Amino acid sequence: MSQLLALPPPAPRLQMELPAVSFFGRSFEEYTRFFALDPAALRRTAVLDVAAGPSSFTAEAVRRGIDAVAVDPLYGRPAGSLAAQVRADYHRMFAQMRAKPRLFRLRSFPSLAAAEADRRLAARRFLADYDGNDRHGRYVRAGLPVLPFLDQGFSLVLCAHLLFIYAARFDYAWHLAACRELVRVSTGEVRIHPVCGAGGRPYAELGRLRADLAADGVRSEVVAVDYEFFAGSNSMLVLRRDRNLRRAGAA
Ligand SMILES: C[S@@+](CC[C@H](N)C(=O)[O-])C[C@H]1O[C@@H](n2cnc3c(N)ncnc32)[C@H](O)[C@@H]1O
């Protein structure tokens, strides 16, 4: 257990500075915790990871027999260019983490150094897989709120560390359109993590977002998960299409 667990909540104004969306990624193991996934149950299942960045989720999922596809606007660049982006963004993010330890709860890692080593390993695994697979459909260049997939193409759609965290950059209309698009490409469930902003407090427009989605025929639920790294990141938002889902914008 880390002594950071005993610290009080972050001061109201303390938050991560996120001037641009970071090309920063986590491992399959970390995804299973913050999305409460059962890897064995996902074998032969079509899973889409949106805003996947240099996460190793897809590389590791495919090795486990999961039919995973990753989407990010930076895909399509040469591996060397993405490796340079990883170097710059990881340097900036870990410098901030070390400077603002009160923003973190070490439930999943014994120390910030251990978290850093794990995320660097995830990026190396991603880069090794990307180098051989970007031309074979596993890594797709696209960005919310428009995904280049048919309706209901994936059983499970995941999106981590983009919605809500970057609320200063993406407005409410973008968040609603992004959620509708994630639901559109899913037959079953969409899971979004975390449900808090850069300061660890819940997304301010969450009630409005859930009401607008409900009006479209999308059920939503905030589900606690056995994980917290960024303070306040101990839940996910689950979206499920109702059988009688209305198309967004339809009367
Ligand atoms: C912080 S990373 C999260 C990576 C991974 N999901 C994880 O949790 O480890 C955010 C990613 O979102 C990507 N991104 C930026 N704008 C996006 C958009 N409009 N739609 C989808 N992804 C976007 C960035 O390129 C970056 O790789």
Instruction: Please write the tens of the pLDDT for every residue from 113-172.
Output: 999 999 999 999 999 999 877 667 899 999 999 999 999 999 999 999 999 999 989 999
Look-up of token digits 């409005």: 208
pLDDT digits (tens, 9 = 90+) for 31-40: 999 999 999 9
Side-chain-side CA neighbours of 81 within 13 Å: the count stands at 5
Q: Check residue 243 and give its pLDDT.
A: 66
Q: How many helices (H) and strands (E) does the chain have?
A: 6, 7
Determine the average pLDDT of the residues in 184-201. Answer: 92
Helix segments in 100-234, DSSP class H: 112-133, 172-184, 206-216
Domains of the chain: 24-241 (3.40.50.150)
Instruction: Give the pocket of ligand 1 (CB within 6 Å).
Output: 21-26, 50-53, 55, 72-74, 143-144, 160-162
What is the Å distance from ligand 1's center to 229 Cα?
18
- pTM of this structure: 0.91
pLDDT digits (tens, 9 = 90+) for 225-235: 999 998 889 99
Probe residue for ligand 1, chosen from 37, 47, 72 as the CB with the greatest number of ligand atoms within 8 Å: 72
Q: For 48-57, 204-213, 235-244, which range has the lowest pLDDT when averaged over its residues? A: 235-244
pLDDT at 1 over 50: no
What is the per-residue burial (b if ≥16 Cβ within 10 Å, else e) of 165-186? Answer: bbbeebeeeebbbbbbbbbbbb
* Tens digits of residue pLDDT in 51-101: 999 999 999 999 999 999 999 999 999 999 999 999 999 999 999 889 888
Give the per-residue pLDDT at 103: 86
Query: Residue 107's pLDDT band (boundaries 50, 70, 90)?
Result: confident
Q: Judge residue 74's burial from the number of C-beta atoms within 10 Å of its C-beta, 0-12 exposed, 13-18 middle, 19 or more buried.
A: middle
- pLDDT higher than 80, residue 2: no
Q: How many CB atoms lie within 10 A of CB 6?
A: 7
pLDDT of residue 245: 55
Higher pLDDT, 168 or 14: 168
| Interval between CA 38 and ligand 1 midpoint (Å) | 23
Residue whose Cα lies nearest atom 9 of ligand 1: it is 25
